[in-house]
Amino acid sequence: MDVLEKAVAGERLSEAEVLSLFDLPLPELAAAAHEVRLKKTDPEVVTFLIDRNINYTNVCTVACAFCAFYRTKRQKDAYTLGYEEIAQKVEELYRVGGKRILMQGGVNPELPLEWYLDLLRYLKGRFPDLRIDAFSPEEILGLERLTGLKAEYILEKLKEAGLDGMPGAGAEILVDEVRLKAAPARIRTADWYRIVDAAQALGLYTLASMVIGFGEGKGERTAHLLGLRAQQDRALERYGNGFAAFALWTLQVEHTRLKGKAPGATAHEYLKTLAIARLALDNFAHFQPPGPPWASRWPRRPSTTGPTTSGAPCWRKTWSRRRGGTGAPTPRCARSCATSWTPGSSPQKGTPSTASSATPTPRPSSASPSP
C-alpha cells in the first residue's frame, strides 16, 4: 500500500510519509484528497457563512514585518473603535443576513481587560443572538502580559462576558525559526498552542490555520500540520472539543516590509498544500478555502483538494485590503465562492458549530509529535 492509498484508507501517516507527499504531483494528491473528503462529509453539500471581520484597533506593539495594518499609537491614522461604532458594523451585518463577527485587532496596551469585557457585554446586550469569535492567541498573550493574569482566567472572564470562540489567527507557520525571521516579537509556537488549548478546555470554538509563503520548506510545513494534528488529538481526548476546521491562506506582502524578501506562494502551491493537509490531518472533518481576495485570483479547481466549507466574504477586513486585497465584496459572494470552490455541490448556509459537531474521533495522542 503506497502513501496515498494509506491516506484514503483512513490510516494515519507518519512524519516521513507526510513529508513525501510534497514530492508527488498535484493531480494525484488532489484525487486522493477528494476521495477522503467524500468519505468524511456529505459529498453533495458545501457550507458557507455570512459574517463580518471587525478590526477594533490598529494600534499594535508586535510590529510584524508581514503586517500592513498595524500602527503605533503616535501615528495619525492609528485608531480604536468605540462600542457604538462596532455596533453599527454589526447592524450592517444583520441587514444582509449575518449574525456572526470575527473581531480582531492589534496588541494595544492602552486597552485594559475591562475594555474587552465591557465590549462583549455591550454587544450581547444589544444583539443577544450575535455570535462573537474574537481575540486571537496573540491578543490574549498581550492581555496576559498587561494584567499579569493567566490565559485560562482571562478566557474564562471573556466567555462569561459573551465570547463564543477564538479565531485561528496568529498561527502562520508554527515553527519558531520561521516566525523569528518574519516577526521577532510574534507569539511563539508554544504560547500559541497553550492559549488555544486553554480556549478548547473552556469549550470555545477554535479554528486551525496556516499561512504559506514565508520561504519555509516542506519540513516546516510538515511540522506545522503535524503539530495541529497532535493538538487536535489532545483536545478531543481531554475536552471533547477541538478545532472546528482547518483554513489555509497564502502570504500577502503588498505594502509590507516583507515585499521583495518573502517569496509568497503560487496557486499551484496553495492547492497542493491544501490537498496534503486533507491527507495529513486525519482528525479534521472540515477544510476551509479562502474567500476574496485570494479565491478571485485563482483557477476554480480546489474542489478536488478537499474543502467542505467556504469562508465568509471577510467583509471590511481592513488588514486584507491594506495588503492588496479587494476589500468589501457583497454578501452574495459567500454563496458564489462556495459554489466555485466545489462545483456540483449544493451550497448551504451553515453555522460555526456545524464543523465542530462533525469532528472525527481522536487518535491516540502518541501517534503525532508534540507541537
**What is the rounded average pLDDT for all residues in the chain?**
84
Angle at Cα 366 formed by Cα 365 and Cα 370, nearest 5°? 80
pLDDT of residue 255: 77
The span from the CA of 258 to the CA of 62, in Å, is 15
The span from the CA of 246 to the CA of 262, in Å, is 23
pLDDT of residue 344: 53
- Given a cut of 70, is residue 50 above it in pLDDT? yes
pLDDT confidence band for 324 (50 / 70 / 90)? very low
pLDDT confidence band for 362 (50 / 70 / 90)? low
Mean pLDDT of 241-254: 91
Grid-cell match 508554544, residue found? 190
Hey, what's the cell of 146?
A: 498587561
φ/ψ of residue 192, rounded to 5: -60, -50
Q: What architecture is the 3-367 domain classified under in CATH?
A: Alpha-Beta Barrel (3.20)
pLDDT of residue 168: 86
**How do the domains of the chain map onto residue ranges?**
3-367
Mean pLDDT of 234-248: 96
